[in-house]
Structure 1
């Protein structure tokens, strides 16, 4: 065949026909483009889906839409689970189908412009060279879908149902209620009072406890890093010891020490010095909150201390010598040299400390199980949002409202983290510091 006739064949190649064939059956467009291996793979996938998965996907989407129609026989939560899985699978298949159409059309345009399709052997070689790394990420992507995305979608959808102890399958069907749960959270007095109180305390707890542990860790790191301090290794070892002890052990010990009746703090310190019956650490919300802030400061400062110590040792002494030449004071050197370098190196980790304490379930529950009780509220005096969600889920079985609060928590954390990460200098070029 002459070169001229080949060019005519290329020009006659129709991208619209390739697109149309790919819409009719995935892979036909690739076959038309003479990409036989890729087209065969798409055809096999579509036929396999149509034969084996189509009915299951339809059933799952029906269950997701209705949550069942026959009480006692249809299990709404199981249908919701199957529906979410069917929805995820449908999205993945739709993405593959769209990719099939786009791929067929783009390659048809390239062929029309003179590109010659590769043979099977060369296609396999190109696939190995270019697509192999992406193929290796597929197991991790699938794991993320079923470990992260699936529970997240399920929790979000659960917030728009009336799933609770008094409306549980299979005896009763769960219904979609729209934004009714969100409305109740801000209009029904007991939910409104509890939510505002717990949210306010969660914010105060997060900011206060985290800031204290960062401040104590920074203060101790600055002192130990001073060249006039001797026995630095011993001092650092002592300060890091609280970090070496498991946190739940430390919390339980502190819970016993703060006990109103037999705790060492009341019995051996408060009562001998001030008399009376001691401080109600566990039965008064104000004192209980103060106690867990102190405990979290104790638990959190060793990590911050170790982190800041490493950063301080990495700062070049030339900076401080230049500041001495310019007559800079200790405060000025800290403000313009030490502190900016610390923030530049540790800002993401410090943001994570705030996010972690926002959801710090362990200390709240192990210290006093979120108590003491508060009148006209269904959460305890030290409950934060995450411990309140735990109680709603496992103690009162109010799953829908727990999902609503979890969704609000996720939005708060995501918004805070996104804003802070965008603002921090740790994600900018070093020359911009």
Structure 2
């Protein structure tokens, strides 16, 4: 693609400039993916080089280390005890003993069942008429296997840290310096190492409550967990490999009535919804903020206060109330019918196009106040001398907005736009409380063969987003609970959001030209 110089660009017409910028954007996308691939390759290569360097260092530590260090390879904390660093020694040794005890008592048993996820379903004891308490639970097996593997990684990390600490201590003693005492170690945790002390608990929390559930969810996507294979009903589920993903990417059965077709159409509407819910809110929020902040506008605090009040009202209450106002038997429709504007069978929520337009419009009422407050803060911090200079140069109000106000707004609110867009992709509240995903669309019904003798029909509505569809699939609002397919949808949502976020983030002014606004 031919790139224009600044002078050539200035000579272009307004339409030419817009077209040129659009072509630059299209050209940047494959280049960005190419750079992403290069970055991933370099990152992968660097990762394996670091792993190799770690193994090399471990080997050299064992070969060149003293006998205390060598024993510490097998008995955690031995070197720390021998060098009178007792607290470190206790912590390292406790980790080893607890891990060995856990693996003997429970961990080994859980790992042995990882391949089968259980063999004995809940059953009635012969001759008793009661359930045998000894049966397998696939959910528990998979859950405790994930925890056991995570515990094993923590054990390996502790082993490596134990070796590294022995090497550091040995090097300190060889240089003629003295080691920290246990008391000094404890004091350092509240002084020069305080940042590690403060970050330890949040890091553990992130691992337990964020990372491990994500890993568990990904593994569920490779099973048949759901109706017909639900441990809550005494049934077992198994590994099915890529079968669930195969259903997502199979289009051979036509354009309707398949999981892939329904997913594609709901994904399309989800992206349309996210686009309009984000940018209409942004445009209207900017417009309202500019109007309120104009010179000569009276009662500015009153107008801001009214808009802030809409934030104070819980969405659960306000959205349900609005949903009922526009319901089939509500006074809004009756008033429109009395004025002969609409017919007797008119409904806001039973028409595909109208219901989609309504949720986008009503969402403006929810989102505009937030944008108004954000934009108001930005407008108050735009340097006034820029506007004065623009006026002296004869710039019109429109020029001042496009050349001064808008660039500053995009610079400051660009990250918010990105997070708002990704948040709207997963905006459960607005859709569920207004329409419940309706109106029902029978073309979205998908028949899933869950067992040889049992089928399950999962459906969706015209306003369902991927997140509300996922909710229906997992709560039984459809014909059954299919956690495996819900996990697949969750993974795809993550991929879509990640790709869009990475592309847009790299195009944001706040990421590309920060120095221009500093």
TM-score, length-normalised on structure 2?
A: 0.75
1:146 aligns with 2:213: no
Cα separation, 1, equivalents of 2:186 and 2:361: 62
Q: Match for 2:373 among 299, 306, 312? A: 306
**In 2: Cα distance, 1:222 partner to 1:404 partner:** 44
Cα distance 1:116–1:75, how it changes in 2: closer, same or farther (>3 A)? Answer: same
Matching residue of 1:386: 467
Query: Which residue of 2 is the match for residue 367 of structure 1?
Result: 434
CA contact (8 A) 1:159 1:400 kept: yes
> What is the deviation of 1:175?
0.6
1:136-160 per-position Cα deviation (integer Å, ceiling 9, x unaligned):
3333233223322232222111111
* Count of matched residue pairs: 420
Cα distance in 2 for partners of 1:338, 1:310 equals 12
Residue 267 (structure 1) aligned with residue 348 (structure 2):
no
CA contact (8 A) 1:282 1:371 kept: yes
Q: In terms of mean alpha carbon deviation, does 280-289 or 16-25 score higher?
A: 16-25
Does the CA-based 8 Å contact 1:161-1:176 persist in structure 2?
A: yes
1:178 aligns with 2:241: yes
Aligned-pair CA distance for 1:129: 2.7
Mapped to 2, the partners of 1:167 and 1:17 lie a distance apart of 55
Work out which of the residue numbers 250, 271, 281 in structure 2 matches 1:187.
Answer: 250
Shift of 1:390: 0.5
Secondary structure of 1:184's counterpart equals helix
Once the two structures are superposed, residues 359-411 of structure 1 have per-residue CA deviations (whole angstroms, 9 ceiling, x without a partner) of 11112112221111112312111100000000000112011101110111122
The CA deviation at 1:51 is 3.0
Matched, 1:403 2:470: no
Q: Secondary structure at the match of 2:443?
A: coil
Deviates more, 1:226-235 or 1:100-109: 100-109
Q: Bigger relative contact order, structure 1 or 2, given CA contacts below 8 A and separation 6+?
A: 1
RMSD (Å), alpha carbons? 2.5
Matched-pair contact (CA < 8 Å) for 1:60–1:85: no
1:240 equivalent in structure 2: 308
Corresponding position of 1:134: 196
Deviates most, 244-253 or 414-423: 414-423
Per-residue deviation, residues 248-301 of structure 1 (Å, max 9, x unmatched): 2222222223223x2333322366253533643211211111111111111111
Q: Please, which of 187, 203, 219 is the counterpart of residue 287 of structure 2? A: 219
Contact 1:270/1:278 (<8 A) preserved: no
Question: Is the CA contact 1:271–1:277 (under 8 Å) kept in the aligned structure 2?
Answer: no
SS of residue paired to 2:262 = helix
Once residues 171 and 220 of structure 1 are traced to their aligned partners in structure 2, the CA distance between those partners, rounded to angstroms, is: 57
Does the C-alpha gap of structure 1 residues 59 and 80 become closer, same or farther in structure 2, counting only changes over 3 Å? same
Distance 1:271 1:101, change over 3 A: farther
Report which of the two has the higher share of helix.
1
Contact 1:27/1:42 (<8 A) preserved: yes
Q: Does the 8 A contact of 2:190 with 2:197 survive in 1? A: no
* Mapped contact 1:64–1:79 kept (Cα < 8 A): yes
Structure 2, unmatched stretches of 5+, are 1-62, 123-134, 445-458
Provide the rounded CA distance (Å) in 1 between the counterparts of 2:106 and 2:502. Answer: 38
Question: Structure 1 residues 330, 86: closer, same or farther in 2, change over 3 A?
Answer: same
> Is 1:167–1:173's contact at 8 Å kept on the other side of the alignment?
yes
Aligned twin of 1:56:
106
What residue is the counterpart of 1:295 in the other structure?
362
Cα displacement string for residues 164-183 of structure 1 (whole angstroms, at most 9, x for unaligned residues): 11122263321111111011
8 Å Cα contact 2:336-2:342 kept in structure 1: no
1:13-162 alignment to 2 at 5 Å? 14-15=64-65, 17=67, 19-31=69-81, 35-52=85-102, 54-72=104-122, 73-162=135-224
CA distance in 1, matches of 2:227, 2:367: 38
Q: How much does 1:243 deviate?
A: 2.3
Question: What TM-score do the two structures reach when normalised by structure 1?
Answer: 0.89
Does the 8 Å contact 2:350/2:438 carry over to 1? yes
- Deviation per CA, 1:304-336: give whole Å up to 9, x if none: 111111211222221111111122221221112
Structure 1: gaps of 5 or more residues: 1-12
Q: Which runs of 4+ in 1 moved over 6 A?
A: none
Helix, strand or coil at the partner of 2:119:
coil
Q: How much does 1:88 deviate?
A: 1.9
The equivalent residue for 1:165 is 227
